[in-house]
Protein backbone atom coordinates (compact mmCIF):
# COMPACT_ATOMS: atom_id res chain seq x y z
CA UNK A 1 0.00 0.00 0.00
CA UNK A 2 1.42 3.39 -0.96
CA UNK A 3 0.90 6.36 1.35
CA UNK A 4 1.40 8.60 -1.72
CA UNK A 5 -1.99 7.75 -3.20
CA UNK A 6 -3.82 7.27 0.09
CA UNK A 7 -4.42 10.07 2.57
CA UNK A 8 -6.19 10.36 5.90
CA UNK A 9 -9.83 11.38 5.57
CA UNK A 10 -10.17 15.12 6.17
CA UNK A 11 -12.80 14.53 8.84
CA UNK A 12 -10.37 12.30 10.75
CA UNK A 13 -7.49 14.79 10.76
CA UNK A 14 -9.88 17.59 11.74
CA UNK A 15 -11.28 15.46 14.55
CA UNK A 16 -7.79 14.70 15.87
CA UNK A 17 -6.94 18.42 15.82
CA UNK A 18 -10.17 19.28 17.63
CA UNK A 19 -9.44 16.66 20.29
CA UNK A 20 -5.83 17.91 20.57
CA UNK A 21 -4.41 14.48 19.76
CA UNK A 22 -0.87 15.31 18.66
CA UNK A 23 0.67 11.88 18.10
CA UNK A 24 -1.34 9.37 16.09
CA UNK A 25 -1.18 7.33 12.91
CA UNK A 26 -2.43 4.41 10.88
CA UNK A 27 -1.20 0.87 11.44
CA UNK A 28 -1.27 -1.88 8.81
CA UNK A 29 -2.32 -4.99 10.74
CA UNK A 30 -2.81 -7.33 7.82
CA UNK A 31 -1.21 -10.59 8.84
CA UNK A 32 -1.97 -10.01 12.53
CA UNK A 33 -4.78 -11.62 14.52
CA UNK A 34 -7.01 -8.79 15.75
CA UNK A 35 -10.21 -8.72 17.79
CA UNK A 36 -13.27 -9.46 15.67
CA UNK A 37 -16.46 -7.55 14.97
CA UNK A 38 -19.93 -8.93 15.58
CA UNK A 39 -19.80 -10.93 12.36
CA UNK A 40 -16.56 -12.65 13.31
CA UNK A 41 -14.34 -10.62 10.97
CA UNK A 42 -11.03 -9.12 12.03
CA UNK A 43 -9.63 -5.75 10.98
CA UNK A 44 -6.85 -4.96 8.50
CA UNK A 45 -6.00 -1.52 9.93
CA UNK A 46 -6.01 0.47 13.14
CA UNK A 47 -5.63 4.05 14.28
CA UNK A 48 -3.07 4.31 17.09
CA UNK A 49 -3.04 7.28 19.48
CA UNK A 50 -0.43 8.21 22.10
CA UNK A 51 -1.75 10.45 24.87
CA UNK A 52 0.86 12.07 27.14
CA UNK A 53 1.00 11.81 30.92
CA UNK A 54 1.89 14.77 33.15
CA UNK A 55 5.74 14.94 33.13
CA UNK A 56 5.91 16.25 36.68
CA UNK A 57 3.86 13.34 37.94
CA UNK A 58 5.94 10.82 36.00
CA UNK A 59 9.25 12.23 37.22
CA UNK A 60 7.96 11.95 40.78
CA UNK A 61 7.69 8.16 40.86
CA UNK A 62 11.33 7.15 40.37
CA UNK A 63 11.27 5.59 43.84
CA UNK A 64 7.82 4.10 43.50
CA UNK A 65 4.22 4.96 42.59
CA UNK A 66 2.10 7.42 44.53
CA UNK A 67 -1.51 8.58 44.57
CA UNK A 68 -0.86 11.39 42.08
CA UNK A 69 0.41 8.85 39.58
CA UNK A 70 -2.51 6.48 40.20
CA UNK A 71 -4.92 9.37 39.62
CA UNK A 72 -3.10 10.49 36.45
CA UNK A 73 -3.03 6.91 35.16
CA UNK A 74 -6.80 6.62 35.66
CA UNK A 75 -7.48 10.07 34.16
CA UNK A 76 -5.52 9.42 30.96
CA UNK A 77 -6.95 5.93 30.51
CA UNK A 78 -10.47 7.34 30.88
CA UNK A 79 -9.69 10.03 28.31
CA UNK A 80 -8.30 7.44 25.89
CA UNK A 81 -11.38 5.25 26.23
CA UNK A 82 -13.65 8.23 25.55
CA UNK A 83 -11.60 9.21 22.49
CA UNK A 84 -11.51 5.64 21.18
CA UNK A 85 -15.26 5.10 21.50
CA UNK A 86 -16.00 8.47 19.89
CA UNK A 87 -13.66 7.84 16.96
CA UNK A 88 -15.01 4.33 16.45
CA UNK A 89 -18.56 5.68 16.40
CA UNK A 90 -17.57 8.27 13.79
CA UNK A 91 -16.00 5.59 11.61
CA UNK A 92 -19.10 3.38 11.82
CA UNK A 93 -21.34 6.39 11.09
CA UNK A 94 -19.42 6.87 7.84
CA UNK A 95 -20.14 3.34 6.71
CA UNK A 96 -17.02 1.44 7.79
CA UNK A 97 -16.38 -1.25 10.36
CA UNK A 98 -14.64 -0.33 13.60
CA UNK A 99 -13.97 -1.45 17.15
CA UNK A 100 -12.22 0.40 19.99
CA UNK A 101 -9.68 -1.36 22.21
CA UNK A 102 -9.95 -0.43 25.88
CA UNK A 103 -6.90 1.13 27.52
CA UNK A 104 -5.00 -1.07 29.99
CA UNK A 105 -7.71 -3.71 30.19
CA UNK A 106 -6.72 -7.26 31.09
CA UNK A 107 -8.83 -10.00 29.57
CA UNK A 108 -6.32 -12.83 30.07
CA UNK A 109 -5.47 -12.83 33.77
CA UNK A 110 -3.26 -15.90 33.58
CA UNK A 111 -0.92 -14.47 30.95
CA UNK A 112 -1.48 -10.87 32.10
CA UNK A 113 -2.53 -9.37 28.78
CA UNK A 114 -5.43 -7.82 26.89
CA UNK A 115 -7.17 -8.62 23.61
CA UNK A 116 -4.39 -7.08 21.49
CA UNK A 117 -1.11 -5.29 22.27
CA UNK A 118 -1.51 -1.52 21.92
CA UNK A 119 2.26 -1.38 21.37
CA UNK A 120 1.97 -3.54 18.25
CA UNK A 121 -0.40 -1.06 16.63
CA UNK A 122 1.74 1.86 17.79
CA UNK A 123 4.99 0.46 16.38
CA UNK A 124 3.24 -0.49 13.14
CA UNK A 125 2.01 3.11 12.94
CA UNK A 126 5.55 4.35 13.47
CA UNK A 127 4.78 6.21 16.71
CA UNK A 128 7.81 4.81 18.52
CA UNK A 129 9.68 1.71 19.60
CA UNK A 130 9.52 -0.63 22.58
CA UNK A 131 12.14 0.08 25.22
CA UNK A 132 13.92 -2.35 27.50
CA UNK A 133 11.17 -1.60 30.02
CA UNK A 134 8.60 -3.06 27.59
CA UNK A 135 6.91 0.34 27.19
CA UNK A 136 6.51 2.31 23.98
CA UNK A 137 9.01 5.18 23.70
CA UNK A 138 8.06 8.14 21.52
CA UNK A 139 10.23 11.03 20.38
CA UNK A 140 7.88 13.80 21.59
CA UNK A 141 6.94 12.32 24.98
CA UNK A 142 9.37 9.51 25.74
CA UNK A 143 7.57 6.59 27.41
CA UNK A 144 5.37 8.94 29.45
CA UNK A 145 2.24 8.14 27.48
CA UNK A 146 -0.76 5.82 27.42
CA UNK A 147 -1.95 4.22 24.18
CA UNK A 148 -5.29 3.95 22.45
CA UNK A 149 -6.18 1.73 19.50
CA UNK A 150 -9.21 1.81 17.19
CA UNK A 151 -9.53 -1.02 14.68
CA UNK A 152 -11.08 -0.32 11.29
CA UNK A 153 -11.35 -1.46 7.69
CA UNK A 154 -10.69 2.05 6.31
CA UNK A 155 -7.61 1.88 4.11
CA UNK A 156 -5.23 4.34 5.76
CA UNK A 157 -1.72 5.64 5.05
CA UNK A 158 0.26 3.55 7.53
CA UNK A 159 3.64 3.77 9.20
CA UNK A 160 6.34 3.41 8.16
CA UNK A 161 6.51 0.80 10.90
CA UNK A 162 9.30 1.15 13.44
CA UNK A 163 11.92 -1.50 12.81
CA UNK A 164 14.47 -1.07 15.60
CA UNK A 165 15.14 0.12 19.13
CA UNK A 166 16.80 3.45 19.81
CA UNK A 167 17.75 2.70 23.41
CA UNK A 168 21.41 2.19 22.53
CA UNK A 169 23.36 0.79 25.47
CA UNK A 170 21.12 2.39 28.11
CA UNK A 171 19.93 0.01 30.85
CA UNK A 172 18.65 2.47 33.46
CA UNK A 173 15.19 0.92 33.50
CA UNK A 174 16.62 -2.57 33.94
CA UNK A 175 18.73 -1.44 36.87
CA UNK A 176 15.85 0.46 38.49
CA UNK A 177 13.24 -2.33 38.33
CA UNK A 178 12.61 -3.43 41.95
CA UNK A 179 11.15 -6.75 40.79
CA UNK A 180 14.20 -7.57 38.64
CA UNK A 181 11.68 -8.40 35.94
CA UNK A 182 13.42 -6.72 33.01
CA UNK A 183 15.81 -8.92 31.06
CA UNK A 184 17.80 -6.19 29.32
CA UNK A 185 17.19 -7.30 25.75
CA UNK A 186 16.77 -4.73 23.00
CA UNK A 187 13.44 -4.88 21.17
CA UNK A 188 12.93 -5.61 17.51
CA UNK A 189 9.69 -6.40 15.62
CA UNK A 190 8.55 -9.92 16.39
CA UNK A 191 10.50 -10.28 19.65
CA UNK A 192 8.30 -11.99 22.21
CA UNK A 193 7.33 -10.04 25.32
CA UNK A 194 8.87 -12.76 27.49
CA UNK A 195 12.31 -11.94 26.05
CA UNK A 196 12.01 -8.40 27.45
CA UNK A 197 9.86 -8.78 30.56
CA UNK A 198 9.12 -11.46 33.14
CA UNK A 199 5.49 -10.40 33.35
CA UNK A 200 4.68 -12.70 36.27
CA UNK A 201 7.52 -11.29 38.38
CA UNK A 202 6.43 -7.74 37.53
CA UNK A 203 2.78 -8.42 38.30
CA UNK A 204 3.53 -10.22 41.56
CA UNK A 205 5.80 -7.43 42.83
CA UNK A 206 3.18 -4.78 42.13
CA UNK A 207 0.47 -6.74 43.90
CA UNK A 208 2.68 -7.36 46.93
CA UNK A 209 4.08 -3.83 47.26
CA UNK A 210 1.68 -1.43 45.54
CA UNK A 211 -1.74 -3.00 46.05
CA UNK A 212 -3.17 0.36 47.16
CA UNK A 213 -2.84 1.67 43.59
CA UNK A 214 -5.47 0.11 41.31
CA UNK A 215 -5.12 -3.25 43.05
CA UNK A 216 -1.43 -3.53 42.23
CA UNK A 217 -1.65 -2.60 38.55
CA UNK A 218 0.58 0.47 38.95
CA UNK A 219 4.32 0.89 39.33
CA UNK A 220 5.92 3.01 36.61
CA UNK A 221 9.45 3.15 38.03
CA UNK A 222 11.01 1.82 34.84
CA UNK A 223 9.30 4.52 32.77
CA UNK A 224 10.07 7.26 35.30
CA UNK A 225 13.85 6.79 35.04
CA UNK A 226 13.93 6.62 31.23
CA UNK A 227 16.20 9.36 29.77
CA UNK A 228 13.74 9.95 26.93
CA UNK A 229 11.09 10.87 29.48
CA UNK A 230 13.37 12.97 31.66
CA UNK A 231 14.38 14.87 28.53
CA UNK A 232 10.74 15.90 28.08
CA UNK A 233 10.64 17.32 31.60
CA UNK A 234 13.92 19.17 31.08
CA UNK A 235 12.60 20.79 27.89
CA UNK A 236 9.43 21.88 29.68
CA UNK A 237 11.42 23.40 32.52
CA UNK A 238 13.68 25.20 30.05
CA UNK A 239 10.68 26.72 28.27
CA UNK A 240 9.24 27.80 31.63
CA UNK A 241 12.52 29.46 32.59
CA UNK A 242 12.62 31.32 29.27
CA UNK A 243 9.09 32.58 29.78
CA UNK A 244 10.01 33.93 33.20
CA UNK A 245 13.22 35.56 31.98
Find the mean pLDDT for residues 107-126.
93
Closest to 148 in 3D by CA, of 79, 54, 236, 55: 79
Backbone angles phi, psi at 72, to 5 degrees: -65, -40
For the chain, give every domain's residue range.
10-239
d(CA 213, CA 8): 39
Q: Per-residue pLDDT for 106 more than 60? A: yes
- Give the ranges where the chain is alpha helix by DSSP (H): 10-18, 55-59, 67-93, 118-124, 172-176, 199-209, 221-224, 227-244
3-state helix, strand, coil in the chain (%, to 5): 40, 15, 45
According to DSSP, the residues that pair with 101 across neighbouring strands are 149
Task: For residue range 127-179, list pLDDT tens digits in order.
Answer: 999 999 999 999 999 999 999 999 999 999 999 999 999 999 999 999 999 99
Task: For residue range 173-184, list pLDDT tens digits in order.
Answer: 999 999 999 999
Q: What is the pLDDT of residue 4?
A: 44
Q: What is the pLDDT of residue 1?
A: 34
Asked whether 60 and 67 are in contact (CB, 8 A), the reply is: no
d(CA 130, CA 185): 11
> Is residue 10 classed exposed, middle or buried when 0-12, 13-18 and 19+ CB atoms within 10 A define those classes?
exposed
What pTM does this model have?
A: 0.93
Task: For residue range 199-245, list pLDDT tens digits in order.
Answer: 999 999 999 999 999 989 999 999 999 999 999 988 877 665 555 55
Q: What is the pLDDT of residue 5?
A: 56
According to DSSP, the residues that pair with 23 across neighbouring strands are 50
Amino acid sequence: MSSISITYPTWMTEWMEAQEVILWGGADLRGFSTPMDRTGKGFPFAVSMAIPMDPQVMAGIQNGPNQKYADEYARVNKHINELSVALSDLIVHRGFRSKPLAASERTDFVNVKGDFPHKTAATRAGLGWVGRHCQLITRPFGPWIRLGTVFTDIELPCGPATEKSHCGHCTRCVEACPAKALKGNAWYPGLRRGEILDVQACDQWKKEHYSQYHKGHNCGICSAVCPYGLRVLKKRQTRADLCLA
